[in-house]
């Protein structure tokens, strides 16, 4: 097995273990009268926390196992480019996210901080600038090139290659998945649930760190691990500033949309 796939598997297993340990330790500390104070998972809602926590743990473990299996037996380029396989995979992944979407977007309205549209736009541009500068810094330092040469990992994710080289119908499906479906489902899962549950069990710092590492690891792209990790941290910051998923979702759509345009033009 190539070195980069071994590292990907270690990152996936390690990040899942990190999140589970953080949740278990947090649960133990919550039982101590002098432990960390509880943070409401769903403020203003009577929805049972244990159901959300159980499904989140189940989803994280099964999704992580699927990512590990994909690393161990990667699909051939021909299979990845097949329209039927692409659509069926998209449907299955979306179906797994459906409970997250139903639970989160049917919760009662909360008192949210008032942030002007101009400030939200400014935050988004600041987020894009941070990610761009970090990416350029990695390129100029030679870190990315050294990582690629040492581990023989692909420079981009397989989905990027398929979007760039595939026929028009496949490109259209992948753009729809990247710009519309993925931002909603992934933000609901990673920021709406995983981040919130870990914050409930620990604090903002550890929750943002653990959920961002997991978010980056399950994408199974070693060359893009650090940029994806930073992207996860930015999304946690946006979520905390606005206390709603819409800001991270819209930023995710904007980021993936710009990336898709760049890939198609190249």
DSSP string of 30-69, one letter each residue: HTSTTSPPP--SSTT----HHHHHHHHHHHHHHHHHHHHH
Q: From residue 177, give the alpha-carbon distance in Å to each of 125, 174, 184, 228.
A: 23, 5, 10, 18
pLDDT in tens, 25-80: 988 887 777 777 777 777 667 777 888 888 888 888 888 888 888 777 765 555 55
Report the mean per-residue pLDDT for the chain.
Answer: 84
- pLDDT tier, 81 (very low <50, low <70, confident <90, very high otherwise): low
Sign of the C-alpha dihedral, residues 241, 242, 243, 248? negative
Token readout for 143 is 């870190």
Residues of the chain with pLDDT > 90, as a percent, come to 31
- pLDDT tier, 187 (very low <50, low <70, confident <90, very high otherwise): very high
Listed range (26-35, 142-151, 177-186, 243-252) with the worst mean pLDDT: 26-35
pLDDT in tens, 194-239: 999 999 888 899 999 999 999 999 988 888 899 999 999 999 999 9
Token readout for 22 is 């953080």
């Amino acid at each position: 097995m190539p070195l980069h796939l071994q590292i990907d598997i270690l990152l996936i297993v390690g990040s899942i273990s990190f999140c589970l340990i953080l949740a278990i330790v947090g649960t133990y500390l919550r039982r101590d009268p002098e432990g960390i104070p509880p943070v409401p998972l769903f403020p203003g809602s009577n929805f049972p926390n244990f159901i959300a926590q159980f499904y989140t743990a189940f989803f994280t473990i099964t999704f992580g196992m699927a990512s590990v299996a994909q690393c161990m037996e990667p699909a051939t380029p021909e299979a990845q480019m097949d329209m039927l396989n692409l659509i069926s995979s998209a449907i299955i992944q979306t179906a797994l996210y459906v409970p997250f979407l139903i639970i989160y977007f049917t919760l009662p309205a909360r008192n949210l901080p008032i942030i002007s549209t101009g400030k939200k736009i400014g935050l988004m541009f600041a987020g894009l600038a941070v990610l761009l500068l970090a990416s350029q810094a990695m390129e100029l330092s030679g870190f990315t090139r050294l990582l690629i040469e040492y581990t023989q990992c692909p420079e981009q994710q397989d989905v990027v290659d398929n979007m760039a080289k595939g026929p028009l119908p496949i490109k259209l499906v992948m753009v729809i998945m990247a710009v519309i479906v993925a931002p909603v489902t992934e933000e609901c899962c990673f920021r709406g649930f995983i981040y919130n549950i870990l914050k409930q069990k620990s604090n903002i710092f550890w929750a943002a760190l653990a959920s961002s590492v997991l978010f980056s690891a399950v994408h199974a792209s070693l060359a893009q691990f650090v940029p994806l990790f930073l992207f996860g941290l930015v999304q946690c910051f946006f979520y905390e500033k606005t206390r709603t998923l819409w800001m991270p979702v819209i930023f995710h759509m904007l980021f993936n949309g710009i990336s898709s345009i760049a890939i198609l033009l190249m």
